[in-house]
Amino acid sequence: MNGLIAPSLLAADFLNLWRDIEMVNKSEADWFHLDIMDGVFVPNISFGIPVVEAIKQKADKPLDVHLMIVQPEKYIESFRKAGAEIINVHYEACNHLHRTIEAIHATGAKAAVTLNPHTPVFLL
């Protein structure tokens, strides 16, 4: 089975973030996975656009930005400019999923859609 490996930087040691980015750069991983959490759509808060910009400066592999936020469409261009090459949104957070996907593609990024565990797949 072929697949992609995308380590989540939430598992990194934030006091040694550059070291952990370099470890992923030298690994067989395909992408960096960045979980962006706003404290509203999900209860946790992670990091935002300035941190993504900083990671992009050191990352040799594509950034897969997973927006676990309300109204992700408001931030597509900002995360793309920060270095996101794949922008992943939640079905449950998008009022008009097709428009959100089109907006992601309009920036030149690849789009991905994530479902919360309770959401039936047939809704897509």
Per domain, the residue ranges of the chain are 9-115
Distance CA 62, CA 57 (A): 11
Residues 6+ apart with CB under 8 A from 78: 49
Q: What is the pLDDT of residue 56?
A: 97
pTM of the predicted model, to two decimals?
0.92
Distance CA 66, CA 36 (A): 6
Q: What CATH number is given for 9-115 in this structure?
A: 3.20.20.70
Q: From the CB of residue 48, how many other CB atoms can be counted at a distance below 10 Å?
A: 16
Q: What is the pLDDT of residue 2?
A: 80
pLDDT tens digits, residue range 10-68? 999 999 999 999 999 999 999 999 999 999 999 999 999 999 999 999 999 999 999 99
Distance CA 115, CA 118 (A): 8
Segments of the chain assigned E as strands: 32-37, 63-68, 84-90, 110-114
